[in-house]
Amino acid sequence: MEFQLLIEQLLNGLQFGTMLFLMSAGLTLVFGVMGLINLAHGSFYMIGAFGAALFAEITGSFSIGLISSFIVAMFAGVITEILVIRKLYKKDHLDQVLATFALILIFSEGIRWLFGAYPLYLNIPAELNASVSLPLEIIYSKYRLLIIAIGILIAFFLYILTSKTLLGIRIKAGQNDREMISVLGVNIKTLYTIVFALGAALAGLSGALIGAIQSVEVGMGEPVLILAFVVIIIGGIGSIKGAFVGALLVGVTDTLGRFLLPELFKLFFDNADANLIGSSIASMSIYILMAIVLIFKPSGLFGERSA
Amino acid sequence: MMSEKKLNFLILIFLFLVPLFSILLNDIYITTLFSKIVILAIAGIGLNLILGYGGMVSFGHAAFFGLGGYVTGILAFHFNNYEPIQILIFEFEGTNQLLFVWIFTLIFSSLLALFIGYFSLRTTGVYFIMITLAFAQMLYYFSISWPTYGGEDGLSLSLRNQIPFLNTMDPITFFYICYVWLIIAIIFVKFILNSPLGISLKASKENDDRVRSVGINPKKVKLISFIISGAITGLAGSLYADLNRFVSPTILSWQMSGEIMILVILGGMFRLYGPILGAFFYIILEQFLGGITENWQFWLGFIILLEVLYAKAGIMSFLIKDKYDEKTSS
Other CB atoms within 10 A of residue B168 CB = 17
Kindly state whether residue A290 falls inside one of the protein's structural domains. Answer: yes
What DSSP element (H or E) covers A140? Answer: strand A138-141
Q: Between chains, do A299 and B295 touch, taking CB under 8 Å as contact?
A: no
Name the 3-class secondary structure at B322: coil
Kindly state whether residue A302 falls inside one of the protein's structural domains. Answer: no
> Which amino acid, residue B241?
A
Kindly state whether residue A155 falls inside one of the protein's structural domains. Answer: yes
Q: Is B329 on the interface with A (CB under 8 A)?
A: no
Q: Is A305 on the interface with B (CB under 8 A)?
A: no
Other CB atoms within 10 A of residue A57 CB = 13
- DSSP class of residue A119 equals P
For the ranges A189-193, A220-224, B231-235, the one whose mean pLDDT is highest: B231-235
Phi, psi dihedral angles at B115 (to 5 degrees): -65, -55
Domain of residue A175, residue span: 2-296
Of the two residues A130 and B277, the one the predictor is more confident about is: B277
Q: Is A280 on the interface with B (CB under 8 A)?
A: yes
Kindly state whether residue A306 falls inside one of the protein's structural domains. Answer: no
Kindly state whether residue A205 falls inside one of the protein's structural domains. Answer: yes
Cβ pair A37, A94 in contact under 8 A: no
**How many domains, chain A?**
1
Please report the pLDDT score of residue B330 as a whole number.
35
B91-B95-B99-B101 Cα dihedral, nearest 10 degrees: 70
Q: Is B309 on the interface with A (CB under 8 A)?
A: yes
Please report the pLDDT score of residue A305 as a whole number.
53
Cα A199 off chain centre by:
9
Residue ranges in chain B whose pLDDT is less than 70: 1, 86-91, 311-313, 321-330
Here the CATH number for the domain that contains residue A243 is: 1.10.3470
- Model pLDDT for residues A33-48, shown as the tens digit of each residue: 888 888 889 899 999 9
Strand pairing class (B85-87; B90-92):
antiparallel
Smallest CA–CA distance from A303 into chain B, residue = B127
Rounded Cα distance, B220 and B228, in Å: 12
Rounded Cα distance, A147 and B81, in Å: 50
- Name every chain B residue with its beta carbon within 8 A of the beta carbon of A233: 127, 130-131, 134
* Of A51-65, A256-270, B77-91, the least confident: B77-91
- Name every chain B residue with its beta carbon within 8 A of the beta carbon of A301: none
**What confidence tier does A185 reach under pLDDT thresholds 50, 70, 90?**
confident
Q: How far is B309 from chain A (nearest CA, A)?
A: 7
How many pairs of residues across A and B have Cβ atoms under 8 Å apart?
Answer: 125
Q: Show Cβ contacts of residue A209 under 8 Å, excluding neighbours closer than 6 positions.
A: A19, A22, A66, A147, A150
Please report the pLDDT score of residue A195 as a whole number.
87
- Name every chain B residue with its beta carbon within 8 A of the beta carbon of A97: 57, 59, 129, 258, 261
Question: Is the complex ipTM higher than 0.85?
Answer: no
CA distances from B74 to A272, B80, B85, B288 (A): 22, 10, 9, 34
Please report the pLDDT score of residue A300 as a whole number.
79
Rounded Cα distance, B82 and B87, in Å: 16
Q: How far apart are the first and last CA of chain A?
A: 47
- Name every chain A residue with its beta carbon within 8 A of the beta carbon of B254: 222, 226
Q: Is B147 on the interface with A (CB under 8 A)?
A: yes
Smallest CA–CA distance from B311 into chain A, residue = A95
Please report the pLDDT score of residue B20 as a whole number.
87
- Model pLDDT for residues A75-127, shown as the tens digit of each residue: 999 999 998 888 888 888 888 888 898 899 899 888 888 887 788 877 777 77
Please report the pLDDT score of residue B150 as a whole number.
77
- DSSP class of residue B84 equals P
CA distances from A272 to A5, A256, A285, B141 (A): 21, 19, 20, 19
